[in-house]
Homo-oligomer: A and B are copies of this chain.
């Protein structure tokens, strides 16, 4: 019979022996099981821990842009981290099973000092500044040899988001994330067959056809992917091959920022202030020159039409053809939101 000592009391990583992916077993997060949905905060500006004047609530700064009270972006450690920064990987086996310590970095980025602004409200210059923070955190975190991969994630208006003030996450993991690893494996197979990047080929085909292109900026394209799993899913990619977002030059951040603000603004106009998630998929830290992977941002509105079987089966059913989504988003144009 089990005794309590059979059970971890701090987080650990366990490798699924069938699916070959690492899962975080996180007993410290048990309080998240109740309530079942974390309510969005109703804090007035000034009581929000991310607003200017409340810096003492998140005192440790990993990075910031701007001085004193006039900051534009702040980065702090997350108060409820998925992975802990301290310690060794501690790879080990128990019987047939594989363990690692739940080591990694989990940083919280306060995207703006303005409590009421989302990405769609940002000036292109502010978005470029935020992208520069992500790039610089990626450059800094990769100096830690324990980390294999870096993720940037932003949720806007989602039911599970604890705070409404715009914020995002930079997570460095000691393993490749399954979804990105699946993309890398698919792109690698494509390259072996064709000796061309699968993303570059798609970009060429999409720009020729035009039907799934949403918008462009110099050096960047936004498109609704051919086999979009989610309605109104949009990807933003560099037009020229690049595996590592962390190598982006300063002068690329302005057009990329302009395009991201443009795309989330179009989604807001077409889908009536829908919640959405934005995720950066970038190549593994040890392969910045990969010929087969192509970094990109994935932007997915959270429309709640999922069948509830995606997690269990991998079957996705998307009721909005990407051509129709791209057409609606193109026609939503730019200009003042809503």
Show the binding face of A for B, using Cβ within 8 Å: 1-2, 6-8, 14-33, 36-37, 82, 95-97, 151, 153, 155, 158, 160-161, 171, 173, 177-183, 186-187, 189-190, 198-199, 201-202, 205, 209-211, 225-229, 231, 277, 279, 298, 300, 302-324, 326-327
Contacts and interface: CB of A to CB of B under 8 A. Distances in A.
4 tightest CB-CB pairs across the interface, nearest first?
A: A178-B314, A179-B314, A16-B227, A24-B317
B183 A19 contact: yes
A23 B227 contact: yes
Chain A binding surface, main DSSP class: mixed
Interface centre among A14, A31, A199, A227 (most CB of B within 10 A): A227
28 contacts: A2-B210, A2-B211, A2-B326, A7-B327, A17-B186, A19-B186, A21-B314, A25-B228, A25-B318, A26-B318, A27-B319, A30-B319, A32-B319, A36-B304, A36-B305, A37-B304, A82-B307, A96-B202, A153-B309, A155-B308, A158-B308, A160-B308, A171-B315, A177-B315, A178-B315, A180-B314, A182-B314, A279-B309
Contacts of A210: 1-2
